[in-house]
Every structure is written in C-alpha cells, then in structure tokens.
Chains A and B, each alone.
Chain A
Amino acid sequence: MSSGVELASAAVLLLLVVLAVMARTAPAGVTVYAWAALPQAAVAAALAASGGGALLWVDAALILAVKGLWVPSLLRRSLPVPDRHGYGLAASMSPPMLLGGAVVAALLGLRLGVLLGPAAGEALGLGLAAILLGFGIPAVRSELWAQTVGILLGEAALVLTALVLAGDLGPTAEILSFAEVILLAVVLGAVVRAVRDVHGVADVRRLGRLRG
C-alpha cells in the first residue's frame, strides 16, 4: 500500500508545484503551498501504517499543522498582494520552458529513482522533479511572493523525497526541518517586506543595482 500512496502523493505534489508556477496572485500561491502539506502527510501516514513507527503518525500530524496551517498563515500575513494580477517573468526562461524542463527532470528522476531502488523508484523520480521545479520558480517568476512560494514548495518536495527514500528521517532531522521551514518562511517574509518598503514593489525586476 505504502508504495502506491507514495507514488500518488509525489504525483499530486508535482501537480501542485506546476500550479504554483502558473499562480497569478500571492493568496493563490500560498493556498497551493498549504495543499502541498497533504501529500507529504499522506506519505508519512502511509509509512506509519505499514509498520514505520508511531513517530511517523506524529510527523504526519505536524506536517498538516505546521505546513498546512501555520506557515501558510505566516505567509498570508507577510507576503504583499501586488496591485495587478498576472505573471512577472524574472529571467530569459519562461514558465512553459520551466515546465518542459520539469518533464525532462521527471524522466531523468524516474531513471535515477529506478537505479536507486525499484521499490520507491517512480515516487522518488517525481519527487526529484518537483524539487527541481519548485526551486526553478525563482528563475522564472519575478514577484518575490512567487519566489518565496517556489522555495517553500521545493522544501515540501524535498521532505517528501527524503521520506520516500529513507522511510523515516528520525526525530532530530524531523524537528530541525520543521524549525527550518518556519524560520525560513519568517525570514523570507521579512526580506520581502523590506524590499517592498525600499522599492515600493516586491519584484526582482526592480532590483539590479548589485552586480554579484
């Protein structure tokens, strides 16, 4: 049962990340992020149900509470709603190109997943594709809220992939990753607000005075 749930969850998460690439408003992006807690919790619950240990049930509940409720509420408070809807493209890559890249990544991930172990191969591959797509959002979307959602969705995909691979991350890694995602959301929100305060708009197209 566990491997079927893992595969379905990874597929749902990948779909949610695709939706986030296309999201036009900050509230929509945050809602997609909140829904992404479900597939992560499903994987943890499926692993717990198939003999993975009681702590995985706690993990599933915490994922729902922290990533489904708490972090989205933090983001809703901190991310600015832009005065117009639509896409802001950050770089030379466009969302269709990123989605095409995700398809290639998924195929590569599937191949890699099969090489790493047939039991979790496909789910692992889809998880890796979701990570690449999530972390790719800052390369295509210029609005800082979209980039924030992309980074956090990449983290969600990463946790799902790690769970699929290892079965159980152990209490230390779990607790620290929860702390990380909360703090990351807080700091991302704070910097987005600071950028908006300085430039009037939280968009990377208004940044560019520093040359790296």
Chain B
Amino acid sequence: MTSTLFLAGYAAFVGVFAPRVLARARWTHRAPRLAVLAWYALMATFLVTVTLAAYHLVLREQHVHDGLVGLLSACGLFPVGSASHAAADPATLLPPALVVLLPAGWFLDRVWRTRRAQRRHVALLAVVGNPSADHDAVIVDHDTPVVYCLPGRYRQVVVTRAAIKVLSQEQLGAVLAHERAHIAGRHHLCHAMVDAFGRSFPGLPLARQAKGQVALLLEMAADDRALRLHSRENLAAAMCEVAAGRAPRAAFGAGGSSAAVRLHRLLVPAATPGRAARLGVVGGSLAALLVPLLIACGPFFG
C-alpha cells in the first residue's frame, strides 16, 4: 500500500505543483524547444506514475503476492507466468492499460479530426486560392491580412492579398519562414499530443497549463527558426502589421496575448541557456521520469 500512496503523492506533485513552477520559470522563453521537452517529460511522468499506481492498487486489492517475487512481477521484471497468475489476469492489467490507452486513443482521434478539417479546408482552397510559385504559398483574395499554414499531410502556407500588400518583401519572407518552421517541425503533432493529454485528464492543472504554454513555446520555436534567415526587426514588424489588420478583440485574459509576449522577446533578445543549464533540464526531466519506477520497484517500499 505504501508505494501506491507514494505514487499518488508523486502524481499530485507532477500534476499540480510542477506545472506551476515550470510555467513561471524564466529560462523557458530563452530555450523554447527545450521547454517543450520539459512539458512532455512532465506529462509522460504523470502518465507513468498513474499507470503504476493503478497497477499497484489492483495488485494489492487482490492480495495475491507480496514479497520479492510479487514486487518484481509488479515491475514487469519477473516472468509473469511463473511468478503470479494475478499479473496475467486481464482484470489486473485493465486499469493501468486504460490509463495509457485513453490518451493514445484521444491522440488518434485528434489527428484524424485535424486531417478531416484540413481536407475540407484544402477543398475550399483549391477553388478560391491561387498557388504562387514566387512565395511557395497559396494566395487568397481577402482584405484582412492573414497568414497561416496547414501542417501535416496537406502541408501548405496560405497568405491573403491584404497580407502581401501590408508587408514588405523582407517581412513577408520572415512570416513565411515562421510558417514553414511549423510545417517542418510537425507542430500539429505536438498540439495533438497536448490536446489528447488534456482530454484524458480534464481539469488537471498540468493539462491546462501545458496546453497554453506549449502553444506559445511552439510559436517561439518557429520564430527562432525564422530568425536564422531573417532579421528580428522584420519579423517583429510583420507581427504588428498582421495583428493590426485584424478585427480587434474586445475582452482579454491576464498577461496579454501571446503575440505581445513573442514581440517583446524579439525586441529584447536574451542569451540562450548554456550547455550546463541545458543538460540540467534534460537530466531533471529524465530524473522525474525515473522516480515513479524507483518508487514502484525500489527496495524501500513494499
């Protein structure tokens, strides 16, 4: 029972407390891709912890095996058939399997829905858009400056005439590079994963925070990619122009829009974290993942 309690406590730590710390961390905006990795590590840790907790809970309730053999089979380190028939019992495996299968199912559902929405969108684009070889994008006649991309199978960058009009050649180049970074980085899959996690654990602070944070961090990562070939001024000015051309929104959440955060980041560049700090983040993420395994399999708790 002890390990189940410890696992539950750790799940609460990862699901409630850790996201608050990570969301407030200052290094994340300087290394957005690393920060996305950290968010995924937290979500993976939460999944592993809850899976193991569910497994232990079922095992204990069946009062089948205690002692070393039971412990090893609980961790999957001991051949299941010879150690315990409880582990082979489908009823034992069902709760932990559900914890893993639920987000996996939502992920497939998201990817499928995304593709369906894109198919519809692409059909519309085919009849009203004009493919432009110069921009390597599809141009749509519309008087609101809009730039977006469809990532994935139907990969495509779409620009309205108004956007081409308000942006200079260099600014447009920077925006297109940003959109291509989304496509090249397969950011739609990143969104789908966070979304699937959120659907599986609705109301969990980690899920709520991850959704907003990862979306912002992916935008920053695309900005950084665009900056490899384009200047900060051009990308920042393009952001202003496109935002200014859109119908303004009345109400606002706290902390301002993500565009404001991105723009300030462009205008006030900060050094990216050093090698040691990066290794620290990766190491911390791995350590967080190992803790539940240690609790479940370690010699300290029965």
Query: Is the A/B pair a real complex?
Result: no
Chain B positions near chain A (C-beta within 8 angstroms): none
Q: Give the B-binding residues of A (Cβ under 8 A).
A: none
